[in-house]
Structure 1
């Protein structure tokens, strides 16, 4: 006990010499330690004094190491005093401990980052010249031209040959293109199209007609190509179909399968002829089925063709299935009822439905004027439909009409 008293007196003498300031929580008045009487203080106050001395020594060593000559401010002393009070309160909750066993954990001080520069901060002229300022993008615009210089995606699409003027007028296409990232959304799909067989010089026209393929899931695109391969379409056929019908790969596998089944059933074709039909005219897979159904009904009911004749005509000229009903009926009426050509001769040359009506009419009237309108293969001077339609005017006038081009042009003026 006597040794403890001696130790306390010794530490009190040190505190009296240093004149340490201990502001309390309620007071901010500076009070020297020497003004306190040892006899009037409790044991708790003694512990606090001992702890404060340790804190003082620790801070003194820190100040000396950082070459700071000024003593701690009143604010610093308050912070250390608060920490010592917390430690003492913790010790009181768990029972009183000897002052020699008190330990202090000193945490490293974490400095905040430098504050951001103020927009009103003055800078030098050299710093101002180094600042790169880009013109702001317009919030709204009627053309994609205003965004090309600021968008990597639009810039590279233009270099590929995409016609943005045709895309900006289509609903929702312009906003979709501005949201795309070239490396994330466009690059992989361009490589996929090249693997399918779309030529480099056709990529721009392809994306101009179908920009929505850039938002299609890659897994779905690969599944559709695998489906076509499973139906025995070779690589050349798939390349031709995708290039000529850009929306083909936007169709689901189920829809493609339904389309192939429809043509095979309605036309009575085997699988090989069905493949040839859609390969030659892939729009049959992407277009609407309503005109196809209507034209088939017209050929069967109104025009009177038999099933085998319809099958031969559509496999020879697949475009006939999507042709205008008005054009088909007008041409057939003139060929069959005016020129007197029977069904079987029209079936042998179905390309006549791709010809302009006035071309057939002008040539027939000229032949009739010359007395050479003979379309019966059993009669002399027979003129077939292919010669009537395909040959150019100069050949038609000399070899078929046995006249001159000037005569034909003069006759056309009288019509």
Structure 2
């Protein structure tokens, strides 16, 4: 390739002034260096695409054409510079530019529409032009959204929706672990899809600080129609739930508004019939634990059977326990039976006293056991209200360690800590 360019330069040397030829030779040297860097090695793949011998491939021929075209532009640019220096022969120099640029172009390779005689434009976009470090730093390359990624973190800078959700407190690392949620969020537009739902939640009374929690646990609320969301809120209000209660329920049970009106009505009827409660007690339970309307009903049915058949509570006792501690309906069955066994079979607490203080089912089993053993060690484990030195279950499990030691065990906190080490 270099030999071909050399022959072309020798042809031009007879027609150009010596000073012009010397300067043009410097441009040719730059082009030659550029061709060495950008040269693409040809590989013989098969006889159909590459001719054997001294011939070159189609790809190499195209590269040769491009480099010759680049050299001709450089030569033309330099000739224009020489023209400015020799103002006396301006017309002749301009003619030389046209004469010597055209023969250097391969006639069958570049169409005339793509050949530009605007030398200033060619110089502006020259890849060989030297620029300063400040200009290089100022060059902006448009960032494209990654075609595929295992993390939503790679899309935050390019997606307005994701960046705004992060500002709201949404945990994207939790959402990206769920199938198809990441692609769904990338397809949403913040102004048309996300903002109207956030405004709706704000209008029904949900605090701004709860937006991140709601979307993190239920991103599909962003795809629900506003008409459906409003109809479900209206249904809850028609069942005598106050506006403040509805806002609190939505904040603590993000999936609540994804359920249809018919399904919510069936859930309300189930709890009222299974527990044989009044409408007001049913609202009281569901407003305090709204996830009962969203979760599965099988664990609830199982826990009710455990309380009745395995633990031996009566219907009115179960009602009292559920009204006082709704979490009993969704608590772990093993924990319920373990705490009941400690209270009833070891501590000898009857059913009616357990039903009177159902908060004990919310306590940790180890905490109840340690305090009972400490009282037994001191000879003060007395849980019968008809006898002196009675210790209620409420004070046994609900007060801090220091209060328990000073008021119930009549001992120091250090004594209790030393006893815990012996268990």
Structure-1-length-normalised TM-score:
0.69
Work out which of the residue numbers 344, 348, 361 in structure 2 matches 1:353. Answer: 361
Partners of 1:344 and 1:399 in 2: how far apart?
A: 24
Task: Decide whether aligned partners of structure 1 residues 363 and 124 sit closer, same or farther in structure 2, where only a CA change above 3 A counts.
Answer: farther
Q: Give deviations 1:257-302, integer Å, cap 9, x for gaps.
A: 0100000000111111111110011011011101100000011111
Work out which of the residue numbers 131, 134, 137 in structure 1 matches 2:142. Answer: 134
Task: Decide whether aligned partners of structure 1 residues 370 and 184 sit closer, same or farther in structure 2, where only a CA change above 3 A counts.
Answer: same
Partners of 2:325 and 2:169 in 1: how far apart?
A: 32
1:340 paired with 2:348, answer: yes
The residue that corresponds to 2:84 in the other structure is none
The residue that corresponds to 2:159 in the other structure is 151
Task: Decide whether aligned partners of structure 1 residues 373 and 211 sit closer, same or farther in structure 2, where only a CA change above 3 A counts.
Answer: same
1:247 paired with 2:261, answer: no
The residue that corresponds to 1:62 in the other structure is none
Task: Decide whether aligned partners of structure 1 residues 132 and 340 sit closer, same or farther in structure 2, where only a CA change above 3 A counts.
Answer: same
* Greater mean alpha carbon deviation, residues 160-169 or residues 291-300: 160-169
Query: 3-state SS of the aligned residue for 1:224?
Result: helix
Q: Give deviations 1:59-105, integer Å, cap 9, x for gaps.
A: xxxxxxxxxxxxxxxxxxxxxxxxxxxxxxxxxxxxxxxxxxxxxxx
- 1:106-145, aligned counterparts within 5 Å? 125=124, 133-145=141-153
The residue that corresponds to 2:184 in the other structure is 176
Task: Decide whether aligned partners of structure 1 residues 127 and 272 sit closer, same or farther in structure 2, where only a CA change above 3 A counts.
Answer: farther
Partners of 2:409 and 2:156 in 1: how far apart?
A: 59
Query: 3-state SS of the aligned residue for 1:225?
Result: helix
1:321 paired with 2:337, answer: no
The residue that corresponds to 2:225 in the other structure is 217
1:282 paired with 2:290, answer: yes
Partners of 2:391 and 2:165 in 1: how far apart?
A: 53
Partners of 1:158 and 1:165 in 2: how far apart?
A: 11
Structure-2-length-normalised TM-score:
0.68
Q: Report the Cα offset of residue 158 of structure 1.
A: 1.1
Structure of higher CA gyration radius:
1
Partners of 2:360 and 2:400 in 1: how far apart?
A: 15
Task: Decide whether aligned partners of structure 1 residues 342 and 131 sit closer, same or farther in structure 2, where only a CA change above 3 A counts.
Answer: same
Task: Decide whether aligned partners of structure 1 residues 124 and 211 sit closer, same or farther in structure 2, where only a CA change above 3 A counts.
Answer: farther
1:303 paired with 2:311, answer: yes
The residue that corresponds to 2:395 in the other structure is 387
Q: What runs of 5+ residues in structure 2 fail to find an aligned partner?
A: 1-112, 128-134
How much is the aligned-residue C-alpha RMSD, in angstroms?
2.1
Partners of 1:232 and 1:124 in 2: how far apart?
A: 78
Q: What runs of 5+ residues in structure 1 fail to find an aligned partner?
A: 1-116
Q: Give deviations 1:118-151, integer Å, cap 9, x for gaps.
A: 8x99766489999964122221101111111111
